[in-house]
Amino acid sequence: MNWAERRRVARRYTFAHGHGHLSTFLSSLSMLGLVLAIALLIVVLSVMNGFDREMRERILSLVPHISVYSHEPMADWRTRRDEVQQHPQVVQASPFTQFDALFMRGTDIETAQGIGVEVAGPGSDTLLALLSTAERTTFVRRADALVLGVGIARRLNARVGETLTLIVPGGGLTGDTGPTRFESLYLAGIVETGTELDQGVALLHLDTASRLAGLDDAVSGLRLASNDLFQVRRIAWEVVNQLPVGHYATNWMMTHGNLYAAIQLSRDLVSILLFSIIAVAAFNVVSSLVLVVFDKQDNIAILRTLGASGADIAWIFVLQGAMIGTVGVICGSLLGALLSQLVPGMVAGLEQLLGVRFLNTDVYPVSFLPVDLLLRDVLTVSGVALAMCLVAAIYPARRAARLAPAAVLNQER
């Protein structure tokens, strides 16, 4: 038999329709199992990739990569900023003042972390850039301006244009006992990042924050942005070493590293689990082809008596396994890619229908279901699934090749 004849017989066993075609029914079941397994794996991988992307591109663009502190309030921060910017992997350095405070509107009180930023400096671009032009302009022009995360604003029922009372306990960052400070601030804008920052961030002018924190002209430290996210430990160590004694640094891996590692670990574990589902689907190919061999043993015997060799019969069933795998891979990949793009909208619609939030920044790092469909994941899943189907077809093919035509035809008498 030539290859065209082998393919024709394999195609007939796989796709022929009509009465009594058990082989087609079994092949269809095998394809369906592959389609569902591949689609499910692609969707889950896309969601995990989405969380990974949001962690790197959204969250880490809003939080400092490295924070440099001093044991005392940093009064000479301008000099220290010039020093740390000399490091080749530090692309941005900006001062900040950080303190814990209470925000009061009427009888509603919420705790938040006040952060003072330079209004005209590069460090103000990340969060303030999310505001509308009018809100950003108001914040820049008013010394008493305040920007709240959307989570705090909702809990306070606060709206842009209202005046809130800021309460800072006595002592602040200096540790000195002093009177509690009260300040009336104008809510210039509400920022929504879709991350955990929405639940606890409040932005003020740097001068106002330093005064309320009891630091006068000093600041809490410097926030650094690096061009290499995964070398921040080394960069922070090198930066601190070039500063006078009494300075220390933290980095995003200390605050968000466990979350990033958990996302990576979850992705690996889920991938292993779902690849095992594909392996089960491939095992279904084995059982289906074994039943096809049993169903078609009289046809196999006739082909053998007409001159087909054992290798011809084996290749027919290997080709059938390849056809099952090819159709399952193509349909599963297309279905998985389609569902990956539909899942965020479906989840958002279900949240709106049920009136609940499946993802909330009180618990999760983002408030929506992110998706990032990568071609390499589709190709990897498709390649592994097709390879499993080819390997699964070897045993039924060898069994079909070993059938004795005389014994089979004698049973048919």
Q: For CA atoms 117, 118, 119, 125, give the dihedral sign.
A: negative
pLDDT at 338: 93
In this structure, are residues 207 and 218 in contact, taking their beta carbons and an 8 Å threshold? Answer: no
Q: Residues near 112 by Cβ (< 8 Å), separated by ≥ 6?
A: 100, 101, 102, 103, 148, 149, 152, 200, 201, 202
Query: Is residue 412 over pLDDT 60?
Result: no
- List pLDDT tens digits, range 198-219: 787 888 888 888 888 888 888 8
Judge whether residue 124 has pLDDT over 60: no
Percent of the chain with pLDDT over 70: 89
Q: How confident is the model at residue 20 (pLDDT cuts 50, 70, 90)?
A: very low
Kindly tell me if the per-residue pLDDT of 409 is higher than 90.
no
The residue that leads in pLDDT, 408 or 312, is 312
Over residues 377-396, the mean pLDDT reads 86
Write the CA distances from 45 to 19, 81, 265, 271, 373, integer angstroms.
40, 41, 12, 7, 8
Tracing tokens 């490091």 back to the chain, one arrives at: 87
The pLDDT of 131-150, averaged and rounded, is 85
The pLDDT value given to residue 275:
76
b vs e for 3-25, b when ≥16 Cβ sit within 10 Å of the residue's Cβ? eeebbebbeebbbeeeeebebbe
DSSP 253-272: HHHHHHHHHHHHHHHHHHHH
Q: Which two tokens stand for residue 139?
A: 């914040």
pLDDT band at 121 (very low <50, low <70, confident <90, very high): low
Q: What distances in angstroms separate CA 358 from CA 65, 264, 368, 384, one per listed residue?
A: 29, 21, 8, 33
**What ranges in 306-403 are assigned the alpha helix state H?**
310-354, 375-392, 394-401
Q: Using the predicted structure, report yes or no on whether residue 172 has a pLDDT greater than 60.
A: no
Residue 333's pLDDT is 92
The Cα–Cα gap between 130 and 293 comes to 64
User: What is the b/e burial string over 315-336, where b = at least 16 CB atoms within 10 angstroms of the residue's CB?
Assistant: bbbbbbbbbbbbbbbbbbbebb
Average pLDDT over residues 348-356: 80
Task: Examine the pLDDT at 66 and tell me if it is beyond 80.
Answer: yes
Between CA 373 and CA 338 the distance in angstroms is 10
Residue with the bigger pLDDT between 57 and 47: it is: 47
Out of 69-83, 245-259, 278-292, 315-329, pick the least confident. Answer: 278-292
Share of the chain above pLDDT 90, in %: 4
Q: Is the pLDDT of residue 334 over 90?
A: yes
Which residues have CB under 8 Å from 173's CB, separation 6+? 73, 97, 98, 99, 213, 214, 215, 220
